[in-house]
Chains A and B, each alone.
Chain A
């Protein structure tokens, strides 16, 4: 499948059909999620209405991690098979992942203050998520700093793959160290331990964020093909100008 879509025309055809679908899905899911989060679910018996922060916090944290996994996966595909599309996907995914990581940190902080009594604690979960943000930012900075596009792509891929270590630490930090943060209650071997009235808004918000992120990635990848076509024309013009150069500027 990967080699099938490494053909730019075929990818463009797929993206053209998938983008409107994902757009509609995003609007419907986030609309439903918003309704369920405020009107379709009760206040928590211990946490009161602060539980409604969970419906934006957990999906944001999940996206921060899922997008990093996608970034690392795309980097791996690029590194091994040199698929240009995989590199383009990695480049496009990184800033989206960084935004969701910021959201996870800020909404977590806004939830931590009323429930834990602190905005921030340097414990394993919070610190490793902060490191995740720094890895995203480092990846973007590295790519921006290297002028040679191929070099930037390869260095970025190596950094993204190395950062997987931190992703594993984020996931298991709540089991390996004692943390203010609760352990997993949705993605567990023995099934979710969260009540269905809270699981539904959570799941739908998470799906909505997933659809949104997928829309963003496909939409931005198509924008990139326009930029690439523009660059090709500019290169052709430059070559034409060089050829015409000696005659036009022959006097010198």
Chain B
């Protein structure tokens, strides 16, 4: 396990590269979901007020 984590001595480069990639992918998805929720709530509120 610790050998795997060491990445042949390149842990300081391999893990940050994967870490920032995972964070960016997660960030894009979370942003898209939050954007949808905000838009849906706004529309629901407006439709309720109009009715």
Q: What is A's interface to B at a CB cutoff of 8 Å?
A: 30, 38, 43, 48-50, 52-53, 56-57, 60, 96, 99-100, 102-103, 106-107, 110-111, 113-114, 212, 216, 219-220, 222-224, 226-227, 229-230, 233-234, 236-237
Contacts and interface: CB of A to CB of B under 8 A. Distances in A.
15 contacts: A30-B25, A38-B4, A48-B10, A49-B9, A60-B21, A103-B20, A110-B14, A111-B17, A113-B13, A212-B25, A222-B36, A223-B32, A223-B36, A226-B40, A226-B43
Chain A contact residues, majority secondary structure: helix
Contacts, number: 88
Given A223-B32, A226-B43, 13 more contacts: A49-B8, A50-B14, A99-B28, A100-B24, A107-B17, A113-B13, A216-B28, A219-B36, A220-B35, A226-B36, A227-B43, A230-B43, A236-B50
Interface of B: 4, 7-10, 13-14, 16-18, 20-21, 24-25, 27-29, 32, 35-36, 39-40, 42-43, 46-47, 49-50
A110 B43 contact: no
Contacts of B8: 43, 48-49
Contact of A234 (B9, B14, B36, B46): B46
B14 A220 contact: no
A49 B29 CA distance: 29
A216 B32 contact: yes
Contacts of A102: 24
B32 A233 contact: no
Given A223-B39, A230-B46, A114 B10 contact: yes
Smallest CB-CB A-B distances: 7 pairs: A49-B8, A226-B39, A49-B7, A56-B21, A107-B17, A48-B8, A233-B46
A53 B29 contact: no
